Amino acid sequence: MNLLQKGALIYVALVIIFTLQSLTVSVANKKGKSEFLAGLIGLIPILGLVYYLKMDSVRKLSATAIPNIFKPKNILGTAFIYSELVLLAFVVVIPLIYTVGTSLSPTSGILNTIWPENPSFVNYEFLLTGSRTIGGIEETTHFVLWYWNTLQVAFLTMVFAVLFVTGTAYVFARYKFKGKKTGLLTILVLQMFPTFLSLIAIFTLFQTFGLTNEPKALVIIYVSGSIPFNIWLIKGYLQNIPKELDESAKIDGANKLQIFFKIILPLSVPIISFVAVTQFMAPWMDYILPSFLIIDSEKWTLAVGIFDFINDVADTNYPAFAAAAIIVAIPIATLYIVFQKYLIEGITAGANKG
Amino acid sequence: MEMKKIIALLKAIGSSLIWGLGQLFNRQLIKATIFFGLFSLLIFIEVSSGSYGTEFDLYDDKIPGNEMQEELSNYLPTWYYYNLKVYNPLSEFAYEDFDLLHDVAESNGYTFDEDTLVFHDENGDPIQVDNITYSNDDMYAFLGEQIRLIEEIELENGVEDLEIEAEILANENVLKIVEALIVERAERDIRLGGNFETLRLERVTLNATNILVAGGHTVGEVDWDNTLTTYIDDHNEALVIQAEDELFTEKYIEIYDDVYEDIDRSTRAIYYVGYYNSHFKALFGDLILQYDSVASFADMLQGRITQNINMDNDDFNKMLARIYFSYNPEGYEELLDQVNNVFYERAGFFVKGIWGLVTMGSIPQKTLYQHEVMSFLLPSSGTISIEARSIEIAGHHSTQLLLRGLIAMLVLVYVIFIYIWNIKDAYNTSLIISETKKVPKEREYFANLYENFFEYIVLTPALLLITFISVMPIFFGLAVAFTNYNIEHIPPGQLISWVGFANFKEVFSLTTGSTIDFGGQFWKVFSWTLIWATAATFTCFFGGFIQAVILNNKRVVFRKFWRSVLILPWAMPALISQMIFRVMFNDLGYVNQVLTRTGITQLFMDWGMLGRSYAEAGTGLQKLFYFGDQNFQWLSNEANPAFVKVFIIVLNVWLGFPFFMALMSGVMTSIDKSLYEAASIDGATGFQQFKYITMPLVLFATSPLLVMTFSGNFNNFGVIYFITGGGPGGGTYETAYAGSTDILISWIYTLTVDPNVRWYSMASVFSILIFLIIGTLSAWNFTRTRAFKEDD
């Protein structure tokens, strides 16, 4: 049996299993049983379905209810939906499995099966210890340093972005002053300039102050760059906090600073956390700035370092790349999945601008 | 006009001249102090950042490196004699008297055999000496006929007849060589303990009574000046000779007075430029004769010096510059006139900044190559070969001037703001005083200020950060689009200048430019960017929509599980996924391996879409669907880039659909269920419900994101750069460095970041165009949003 047949077989089998599961759940549903349990039992091919068909109904069943489920149109519809879902799941998951596979591959070339024959953790060891010897040639990597650099940059960016943004957004959301509209429009316009326009100037500026090759200097740019978007974001959130709160506090004799610290700040913890999380994640995935501003390999951030594993013509190392990608991607992907609701809302809010 | 207004006006004028003056008259001491303090600070910044009032000095201001004059003058003479000549006899070496070799040998504890021309060490073993040549007067034969002529004249007439000599010496090169020759001889003479036989020139000595004697007669009296530690001649000019080394003292007096005294005073003055200069001139004039090329000499010299003195390249070059100009004083004056720009060299932060912004510098860098420097020392027949190193006389650094100019300008904006405030305050307070006959309390003013200006105070940090880190660079980028800042004009080597709209014209001209084809390539890249952004946006948008519909079908069990699987591409950092694709779709990557093993590759070969070169591919259809040669060239199909383009759009769906899927399924679950119930009661089919309820609601709620996604894809650097790198093809001068899948933003990246490309001006032009397109689009989209309208 060749690979194609094997793949097709697994695919068809999965589609059938999930279709049967869906039918089982439909039956259970009609009979008033727990859908979750039916979903689990329905995963047992045929037997699960038979089990539920034989089961007594909790509520009254119309005569056509069960036969309707088994109408060819319904079965085909279900099969069609699952053939699409399973196919797409394959497409989504295969690159990821392949990456995990590659990261476990002990040889340094391109892995040509989805999973290596003798998986090992040598690549992870290599990344974490920084060196290894293969065939008498010593290889080194600064992965741990990159991680540390990125972590520092991310942390500092998060702290300073929150510090700079919160107060500013508060003022924009709550007070009327001369130049407010101009200011808001200006930061909006600033966002629309491509990063590249300022790249040369930033490089020259950094050179003048001796900041090139210094990862922590990137924080200045990230923080400055984060201000416009986040001002709009926080401003939009703060506008939903009723103004009466401020006003009653004012009557009680609180000044603007007190209002901010005692009332607004505690209420805006969710949005500030959101800003903190997004700002913490941003430097991990920024390639353009560090690749342009940082020359020495031990000063790189992760994005630059990881890409170098596959872009360096003289010294490609696919498994090390894959291992590094996994190490970096897992925490970030987890954060994304955990915060997906907020993140998607945040992006949408960005599109609608408050 | 009323009196009080005139008074107020006068105070305002006072404040406009000297900040705080009006406030002083208003008896507002705190304000006056603050404004005057700021005013003083401004002046202090300007003065302290400039070098007003100091004299321009080429060596201090333009040539990098330390002088190390003291170290060199302490060390070099000793080194020259005892290190190079004596302790290192084993190097290439010319001699003219066996006595010298005996001396050399003795000082090393060796012996020298005249018959065999071999050194022996303490044990009598022979020592290999690389290249000893016996040299006598003939060793100078190569210097040419002219020198011989001079020498003959000198022989015939003696030193007195210097006028004839002067005529001949008008030939500069000869002059240099002769000088070197004389020094060489004088040195030997000294070393040999006063044996003058071989000299044709009579020596001039400084005798015990400070009388300068030349050619047997007294030239003049020189005095030892204790404070200057130099000799002074009868013209009261310093001879600039330090008497710490008697050998040198004698030598210099010879050079100065014997040969040049009667040529003319200006020429002679040149040689009084200083002990330092003359010193080296003499040393190198001699030394270099032993080396046949500038490079080897310079290497030797630097090597030797840096062994003993901590001297870096800049320091060494600075020394060479000194030597160069001591030989070429006209060149020095000329250069001084050229480079002495009062704004650049002396002005401070504000004045220099504004000047720099307007002119971007006016004086290019001047490079003195070592061979140029050394050619003054080398005989004309000597080899002048390698431009090994160069001495940079820094010119005006255009980009730094531009940057400083912009910073100064932005600071000035703030300054002007405070300045106007200062004037207004003087005027207004004056009016209040006249009206109320009372001086307002300043404490109240400041309390009031805090209350009203709380907002501004909070905004200040972010404002300053944005001004200098975001706005200033953007201004800089905008400015660059109107300059010729490209690889042909890179500071500090070259100047940049304003070119107006020339870059824009080049882009829009459509004709191939005279040098590099930006006009033609721009439209190619631009149209592909538009196609890409549109296709990528709609495929992901509708892909996500369809997927959301399928996912939300009631037949789907464990929806959360499926949703979590399908959202993975969104959760994965895009950069990582893009790099993974680059690996997987490599020509020899996993995907091609699988396709080969499953026989699919063979299938396509049978259909003629694979397996041969593009030229051999038969029909139009086969050309259209030409996928590659031996394998699918997913990302590198140079012959049929359209295939790669389509493929990138398809790949991008993987990256982009989950976001829309998640977003839209969120919208779908929030649709009021009663709508569907009502529809079902009215007899609407499932499809009708979908068509008239789900689709309009979801698409309406999410369509504002289309514009954002379009802008995002328009500038989707990652997909292009990490997956194809802009290829296939491109990256050459002919295509203006644009690859066939390059979109504007990735093209800009190449133009900016690639050290071999560096076409900054065009990168800026494209950035501006992107801004205009995306900015307009976003602005249009934004003005339609609730937030904007609410904020009036």
Predicted confidence at residue A326, as pLDDT, reads 92
Q: Would you list the DSSP string of A283-347?
A: GGG--HHHHHH--SGGG--HHHHHHHHHH-TT---HHHHHHHHHHHHHHHHHHHHHTHHHHHHHH
| CB-based contact A321 B558, cutoff 8 Å | no
What is the spatial distance between Cα B356 and Cα B345, in angstroms, rounded to a whole number? 11
The whole-angstrom distance between A146's CA and the closest CA on chain B is 15
Report the 3 state secondary structure along B437-449. Answer: CCCCCHHHHHHHH
The whole-angstrom distance between A337's CA and the closest CA on chain B is 6
What is the spatial distance between Cα B29 and Cα B443, in angstroms, rounded to a whole number? 11
| CB-based contact B715 A177, cutoff 8 Å | no
Q: B462: which chain A residues are within 8 Å (Cβ-Cβ)?
A: 164-165, 167-168, 227
Between A141 and B229, the more confident residue is A141
**% of chain B beyond a pLDDT of 90:** 14
- Report the residue from A21, A81, A193 with minimal CB separation from B550: A81
Mutation site, B475, B555, B561, interface A, largest A CB count within 10 A: B555
What is the spatial distance between Cα B175 and Cα B191, in angstroms, rounded to a whole number? 24
Cβ neighbors of A293 (< 8 A, separation 6 or more) are A202, A203, A206, A212, A213, A217, A218
**% of chain A beyond a pLDDT of 90:** 21
From the list B435, B465, B378, the residue with the least C-alpha distance to B181 is: B378
Residue A158 CA: distances (Å) to CA of A164, A288, A328, A343, A350: 10, 19, 18, 16, 19
What is the spatial distance between Cα A315 and Cα A320, in angstroms, rounded to a whole number? 11
| CB-based contact B565 A92, cutoff 8 Å | yes
Mutation site, A24, A27, A199, A211, interface B, largest B CB count within 10 A: A199
Predicted confidence at residue B373, as pLDDT, reads 56
Token digits of residue B185: 């001889």
Residue B545 has pLDDT above 90, yes or no: yes
| CB-based contact B569 A204, cutoff 8 Å | no
Report the 3 state secondary structure along B112-166. Answer: EECCCCEEECCCCCEECCCCEEECCHHHHHHHCHHHHHHHHHHHHHCCCCHHHHH
> Which of the residue ranges B96-105, B115-124, B749-758 would you say has the lowest mean pLDDT?
B96-105
Whether the CB-CB separation of A41 and A24 falls below 8 Å is answered with yes
Name residues 506-525 of chain B within 8 A of A (Cβ). none
Q: A318: which chain B residues are within 8 Å (Cβ-Cβ)?
A: 583
Segment A14-32 mean pLDDT = 90
Predicted confidence at residue B104, as pLDDT, reads 56
What domains does chain B contain, in order, with CATH numbers? 519-585+634-712 (1.10.3720.10)
Pairing of strands B93-95, B132-134: parallel
The whole-angstrom distance between B8's CA and the closest CA on chain A is 26
Mutation site, B360, B478, B484, B579, interface A, largest A CB count within 10 A: B579
Is the bond into B379 cis (omega within 30 degrees of 0)? Answer: no
Whether the CB-CB separation of A57 and A30 falls below 8 Å is answered with yes
Segment B602-615 mean pLDDT = 77
Helix axes A72-103, B559-566, angle to 10 degrees: 40
The whole-angstrom distance between A273's CA and the closest CA on chain B is 19
The whole-angstrom distance between A2's CA and the closest CA on chain B is 7
CA atoms within 13 A on the CB side of B683: 0
Segment A312-341 mean pLDDT = 85
Q: Does B569 touch chain A (CB under 8 A)?
A: yes
Q: Does B557 touch chain A (CB under 8 A)?
A: yes
Helix axes B145-157, B172-191, angle to 10 degrees: 60
Residue B533 has pLDDT above 90, yes or no: yes
Cβ neighbors of B501 (< 8 A, separation 6 or more) are B482
| CB-based contact B454 A256, cutoff 8 Å | yes
Using CA coordinates, name the residue in chain B closest to A206: B469
Residue B557 CA: distances (Å) to CA of A13, A36, A78: 17, 9, 11
| CB-based contact B584 A200, cutoff 8 Å | no
Whether the CB-CB separation of A100 and A319 falls below 8 Å is answered with no
Burial of B260 (0-12, 13-18, 19+ CB in 10 A): buried
> Which of the residue ranges A26-40, A253-267, B312-326 would you say has the lowest mean pLDDT?
B312-326
Predicted confidence at residue B372, as pLDDT, reads 57
Using CA coordinates, name the residue in chain B closest to A255: B451
> Which of the residue ranges A1-5, B323-327, B521-525, B573-577 would you say has the lowest mean pLDDT?
B323-327
Q: Does B704 touch chain A (CB under 8 A)?
A: yes
Token digits of residue B272: 């009084």
What domains does chain A contain, in order, with CATH numbers? 3-93 (no CATH), 143-315+324-352 (1.10.3720.10)
**% of chain A beyond a pLDDT of 70:** 96
| CB-based contact B571 A340, cutoff 8 Å | yes
Using CA coordinates, name the residue in chain A closest to B758: A200
* Residue ranges with strand state E in chain A: 131-134, 137-140
What is the spatial distance between Cα A118 and Cα B445, in angstroms, rounded to a whole number? 79
| CB-based contact B782 A188, cutoff 8 Å | yes
Using CA coordinates, name the residue in chain A closest to B753: A292
Q: Does B360 touch chain A (CB under 8 A)?
A: no
Residue A330 has pLDDT above 50, yes or no: yes
What is the spatial distance between Cα B614 and Cα B611, in angstroms, rounded to a whole number? 9
| CB-based contact A351 B584, cutoff 8 Å | no
Segment B524-545 mean pLDDT = 93
Give the H or E element holding residue B93: strand B93-95
Q: A344: which chain B residues are within 8 Å (Cβ-Cβ)?
A: 659, 662-663, 666
| CB-based contact A112 B593, cutoff 8 Å | yes
Q: Is A166 helix (H, G, I), strand (E, B) or coil?
A: helix
- Report the residue from A93, A177, A354 with minimal CB separation from B787: A354
Pairing of strands B205-206, A131-134: unpaired
Give the H or E element holding residue B771: helix B760-783
What is the spatial distance between Cα B735 and Cα B732, in angstroms, rounded to a whole number? 6
Predicted confidence at residue B217, as pLDDT, reads 37
Predicted confidence at residue B179, as pLDDT, reads 42
Question: Taking all residues of chain B, what is their mean pLDDT, rounded to a whole number?
Answer: 71
Burial of B608 (0-12, 13-18, 19+ CB in 10 A): middle
| CB-based contact B708 A177, cutoff 8 Å | no
How do residues A233-242 score in pLDDT, each as one tens digit? Answer: 888 888 888 8
| CB-based contact B465 A223, cutoff 8 Å | yes
Q: Would you list the DSSP string of B499-520?
A: -TTHHHHHHHT-SPPSSS-HHH
How do residues A219-236 score in pLDDT, each as one tens digit? Answer: 999 999 888 888 888 888
The whole-angstrom distance between B749's CA and the closest CA on chain A is 7
Q: Would you list the DSSP string of A228-262?
A: HHHHHHHHHHHTTS-HHHHHHHHHTT--HHHIIII
> Which of the residue ranges A28-32, B103-107, B582-586, B716-720 would you say has the lowest mean pLDDT?
B103-107
Predicted confidence at residue B360, as pLDDT, reads 87
Q: Does B562 touch chain A (CB under 8 A)?
A: yes
Residue B664 has pLDDT above 60, yes or no: yes
- Report the residue from B598, B659, B788 with minimal CB separation from A2: B598
What is the spatial distance between Cα A326 and Cα B246, in angstroms, rounded to a whole number? 76
Residues of chain A by 3-state class (helix, strand, coil), percent to 5: 75, 0, 25
Between A350 and B465, the more confident residue is B465
Using CA coordinates, name the residue in chain B closest to A194: B767
Mutation site, A99, A114, A192, A332, interface B, largest B CB count within 10 A: A192
Predicted confidence at residue B340, as pLDDT, reads 82
Between B199 and A158, the more confident residue is A158
Most confident of B56-60, B119-123, B198-202, B616-620: B56-60
Question: Which DSSP category does A178 fall into?
Answer: T
Token digits of residue B337: 């006139």
Q: B599: which chain A residues are within 8 Å (Cβ-Cβ)?
A: 2, 4
| CB-based contact A167 B471, cutoff 8 Å | no
Q: Tally A–B CB contacts below 8 A.
A: 268
What is the spatial distance between Cα B426 and Cα B423, in angstroms, rounded to a whole number? 5
Name residues 742-771 of chain B within 8 A of A (Cβ). 745, 748-749, 752-753, 760, 763-764, 767-768, 770-771
Q: Would you list the DSSP string of B265-318?
A: HHHHHHTTS-HHHHHHHHHHHHHGGG-SBHHHHHHHHHHHHHHHS---HHHHHH
Name residues 587-606 of chain B within 8 A of A (Cβ). 588-590, 593-594, 597-600
| CB-based contact B662 A112, cutoff 8 Å | no
Using CA coordinates, name the residue in chain B closest to A3: B598
Predicted confidence at residue A173, as pLDDT, reads 86
The whole-angstrom distance between B716's CA and the closest CA on chain A is 11
In DSSP terms, B391 is beta-bridged to B368
The whole-angstrom distance between B29's CA and the closest CA on chain A is 28
Token digits of residue B537: 């946006």
Question: Which DSSP category does B586 fall into?
Answer: S
| CB-based contact B470 A198, cutoff 8 Å | yes
| CB-based contact B593 A99, cutoff 8 Å | no
The whole-angstrom distance between A125's CA and the closest CA on chain B is 20
